[in-house]
Amino acid sequence: MSEFMESIEYETGTTIQAFNIIEANKNAEGYEVLLDLDLDSGYALESVKLNITNEDFAAYETNDIQEVVKYALGFFANQEVKDKYNINDEDRAWEDDRL
pLDDT by residue (tens digit) across 28-71? 999 999 999 998 889 999 999 999 999 999 988 888 999 899 88
- Strand ranges in 1-99 using DSSP code E only, listed in sequence order: 16-26, 30-39, 44-53
Residue 18 burial by Cβ neighbours in a 10 Å radius (0-12, 13-18, 19+): middle
Give the separation between CA 65 and CA 26, rounded to whole angstroms.
10
Helical H segments across the chain, by residue range: 54-60, 65-72, 79-84
pLDDT of 25 above 50: yes
> Where do the structural domains in the chain lie, given as residue ranges?
16-74
pLDDT at residue 77 above 50? yes
What global pTM score does this model have?
Answer: 0.65
| Torsion region of 80: left, alpha or beta (phi above 0 gives left; psi -120 to 50 gives alpha) | alpha
